[in-house]
Amino acid sequence: MRKIILPSVIILSAIVLIAKIFYLQVIDETLKLKAENNAIKKVFDFPERGYIYDRNGKLLVANQPSYDIMVIPREIKNIDTTEFCKLLNITKDYFINKLEKANVYSPRLPSVFLAQLNKAEYAAFQEKERKFEGFYTQKRALRDYQVKDCANIFGFITQVNEAIIEKNPYYNPGDLIGKQGVEQQYEEILRGVKGVKYLLRDKHNKIIGPYKDGAFDTIAQQGKDLTLTIDHELQKYGTELMVNKRGGIVAIEPKTGEILALVSAPTYDPSLLVGRQRSKNYTALYNDSISKPLYDRGLQATYPPGSPFKIITGLIGLQEEVIDLNSTFYCNGGANFGRFMKCHCGLHTLQLNNGTYKSCNSYFGNAYKRTIEKYKDSYFSVDNWANHVKSFGLGQFLGTDMPIGAKGLVPTSKTYERMYNGAPIRSSYIISNSIGQGEVLTSPLQLANMMAAVANRGYYYTPHIVKKIKGQALDKKYTTKHYTTIAKEHFPAMIQGLADVYNVGTASTLKVEGLEICGKTGTAENKIRVAGKTYQLKDHSIFVAFAPKENPTIAIAVFIENGYWGSRWAGPIATLLVEKYVNGKISRKDLETRMLNGSIEDEYEKIENIIFQRTPERKIKKDTISNIKNKIGEARKEEENA
């Protein structure tokens, strides 16, 4: 018995080893396809990224060929470094540094050595490519932007970083991926799927043919084209109007929820983020923490809504039946709500209509007071009010198909419970909410969407930016109506008030002949705290509108930071955009010129001085565009004189 143990163990072990080796060598195919397998070379076929069009079929984004220089560190053989660096216009430090990094990643796998050469640079290198063993070029497609605006909508494409490669096995070093905007949101649709070919190599790394006659190869799937809801004419015009101003514009088609324009200022030319200068430019944009060009003010910035919020206050009052069209309130340069709230309407006896078009604080203060005091339980009242407000899409993410957004804020009983330690909420504490100056915060997108809901008399569609994906249906959530809690019959009176804003109210100077626009001006206070001191800054200029009054085709919100008051900057800009979109031409040329050339840069400079605690004497005059223009003018004059 004992004699046969060891021989049995030996025979058994041999069988186990042979079985496992048989499995590895003959049955299991996965080992043969692994990336580390030197005998098989994976060659990728990169599909072309989908094009991007505007709603009228205008091509916005196409592709251009670009070339990456790839390196396999192990295969480098005595090359002339000086010549190499000179040819590619790189420093020797870059060469050494990059090679080291590539070596750390893997000496045997390709890494990107120098990314995104243009055609001319590539042609110069290609001529001598064979002299530099270990280096080869990989063709990729870069974006070719047909327009100079929309940077905030498009986003950009960039090389994947290591974190993405580790998380998502689809990507290899050097692959491109969409970042921000629709490039990020629709990455998988735009990029398509790359194809893989497995080629067999001999021991000298020479390709001898396809592996297993291409049984494992896959074909690249083209990226799909996107059609945006953006009207590029409108977008471009909005961008031009916003030069030398800061703020955001959002325009929505109320009938569909399609975003017609999404402007954020200041902005940048999208082609800055293409090619070899991409990373340098991106860093510069990223580091500009004052004007924040990468910050989408249309989607991300939240401000107190100011007077446009009175529309909501009024509608809620009507719905809660605490006011009707004949309810009358008095204004005496303001009204007392436990504390005095000032008003500049200049009227004394106010009803819904003139309260709206003159934007009377006293009227809406009273309407709000009644709403909050309607129920004994003030917490219930506040929540009841907050639910109405939220039904307009405020205080929540709207679910737009952009990777960024802002929630804004609609205060609820919980907010005040914390603030007032559970004591009953008096309407006087929170009266500022009535005129959009309290705790409420909204983004321009939310305000535009609110106007779309008013224009539709009580419903909205989730705002979205993609109209069509080739060969694919749109997400259902963009074709579902969201109803507000306000009954349809309450809207006409409010809408008449908004129309009268143009006829006789706060925007009467902006009236466009033959076009009935409903709008509302807004002015929102804002302060900053720097080094323990609070500074009152110039008010934000706000304007919301939709047009035409019957059967509206556009709803818009314009927000200009530190733009003094509503009808100073935001009102004219909104009116021009509406006229442009609805009528296709501009009748108010005077207004247009003033808006195109106007600048608030001086105001922003003052704020910068506060932020950096600079005294105006010591300030360094910045080269704003108008300054440069002046200098050019002077230089010309001097030339002429000479």
Partner 1 sequence: MKNQNIGNSIDWLTILLYTLLVIMGWMTIYSASLPIEETSIFDISQIYGRQFLFIGLAIPLILVVLFTDAKIFERLSFVFYGLGIILLLGLFVFGVTKKGQTNWYQFGGFGFQPSEFVKIATALLLAKYLSFSQVNIQKFKHQIVSLGIVILPVFLILLQPDAGSAMIFLSLIFVLNREGLPSWYFISGILAIVLFFASLLIQPIFIISAVLIFMIIHYLFNKKISRNPIIYSLIFGIIASYTYSVSYVYDSVLEPHQKDRINVLLGNDVDLKREGYNLNQSMIAIGSGGLTGKGYLEGTQTKGGFVPEQHTDYIFTTVGEEWGFIGSFVVILLFTLLFLRILYLAENQKTKFSRIYGYCVATYLFTHFFVNIAMLIKLFPTIGVPLPFFSYGGSSLWSFTILLFIFIKLDANKVNEW
Closer by beta carbon to partner 1, 38 or else 64? 38
Residue 287: exposure state from Cβ atoms within 10 A (0-12, 13-18, ≥19): exposed
Stretch touching partner 1 by CB under 8 A, among 14-22, 214-222, 292-300, 323-331: 14-22
Q: Is 25 in the site for partner 1 (CB under 8 A)?
A: yes
Least Å from the CB of residue 84 to partner 1: 23
Side chain identity, residue 13: S
Residue 288 corresponds to which tokens in the numbers above?
């500009």
Residue 409: phi and psi, rounded to 5, are -150, 130
> Is residue 297 within 8 Å of 264, Cβ to Cβ?
yes
Q: Is 525 in the site for partner 1 (CB under 8 A)?
A: no
Strands 226-228 and 52-53: parallel
Closer by beta carbon to partner 1, 15 or else 628? 15
Stretch touching partner 1 by CB under 8 A, among 19-27, 140-148, 217-225, 228-236: 19-27
Q: Is 620 in the site for partner 1 (CB under 8 A)?
A: no
| Per-position x/- string for 106-135, each x denoting binding to partner 1 as judged by CB under 8 A, each - no binding | x-x---------------------------
Question: Residue 498 pairs with which residues in a beta bridge?
Answer: none
| Cβ count near 130 (within 10 Å) | 9
Q: Is 168 in the site for partner 1 (CB under 8 A)?
A: no
Side chain identity, residue 205: N
> Is residue 270 within 8 Å of 245, Cβ to Cβ?
no
Q: Is 14 in the site for partner 1 (CB under 8 A)?
A: yes
Residue 19 corresponds to which tokens in the numbers above?
């079985």
Least Å from the CB of residue 214 to partner 1: 18
| Per-position x/- string for 505-524, each x denoting binding to partner 1 as judged by CB under 8 A, each - no binding | --------------------
Closer by beta carbon to partner 1, 21 or else 530? 21
Q: Is 568 in the site for partner 1 (CB under 8 A)?
A: no
The b/e string for 540-579 (b: 16+ C-beta within 10 A; e otherwise) is bbbbbbbbbbeebebbbbbbbbbbbbbbbbbbbbbbbbbb
Q: Backbone dihedral region of 362: left (phi > 0), alpha (psi from -120 to 50 degrees) or beta?
A: alpha
Least Å from the CB of residue 217 to partner 1: 18
490 by DSSP, 3-state: which?
helix
Residue 257 corresponds to which tokens in the numbers above?
């929820």
Closer by beta carbon to partner 1, 163 or else 473? 163
CA angle at residue 563 from 562 to 567, to 5 degrees? Answer: 150
Q: Is 3 in the site for partner 1 (CB under 8 A)?
A: yes
Q: Is 31 in the site for partner 1 (CB under 8 A)?
A: yes
Closer by beta carbon to partner 1, 13 or else 56? 13
Stretch touching partner 1 by CB under 8 A, among 37-45, 173-181, 238-246, 492-500: 37-45
DSSP for 441-462 reads BB-HHHHHHHHHHHHTTSEEEP
Least Å from the CB of residue 102 to partner 1: 14
Among 7, 346, 532, 584, binds partner 1 (CB under 8 A): 7
| Per-position x/- string for 326-355, each x denoting binding to partner 1 as judged by CB under 8 A, each - no binding | ------------------------------
250 by DSSP, 3-state: which?
strand
Q: Is 96 in the site for partner 1 (CB under 8 A)?
A: no
Closer by beta carbon to partner 1, 39 or else 469? 39
Q: Is 38 in the site for partner 1 (CB under 8 A)?
A: yes
Q: Is 20 in the site for partner 1 (CB under 8 A)?
A: yes
Closer by beta carbon to partner 1, 71 or else 331? 71
Site size toward partner 1 (CB under 8 A) is 32
Residue 380: phi and psi, rounded to 5, are -65, -45
Closer by beta carbon to partner 1, 199 or else 290? 199
> Distance between CA 424 and CA 443 in Å, rounded?
30
Interface of this chain with partner 1, residues 194 to 223, rule: CB under 8 A: 201-203
Q: Is 42 in the site for partner 1 (CB under 8 A)?
A: no
Closer by beta carbon to partner 1, 28 or else 188? 28
Closer by beta carbon to partner 1, 16 or else 124? 16
> Distance between CA 144 and CA 150 in Å, rounded?
13
Q: Is 18 in the site for partner 1 (CB under 8 A)?
A: yes
Least Å from the CB of residue 2 to partner 1: 5
> Distance between CA 396 and CA 390 in Å, rounded?
7
Residues 6+ apart with CB under 8 A from 640: none
Tell me the CA end-to-end span of the chain in Å, nearest whole number: 120
Closer by beta carbon to partner 1, 165 or else 419? 165
Helix (H) or strand (E) holding 329, with range, is: strand 329-330
Q: Is 36 in the site for partner 1 (CB under 8 A)?
A: yes
> Distance between CA 575 and CA 554 in Å, rounded?
11
> Distance between CA 215 and CA 196 in Å, rounded?
11
**Which parts of this chain interact with partner 1 (CB under 8 A)?**
2-3, 5-7, 9-11, 13-14, 16-18, 20-22, 24-26, 28, 31-32, 34, 36-39, 106, 108, 201-203
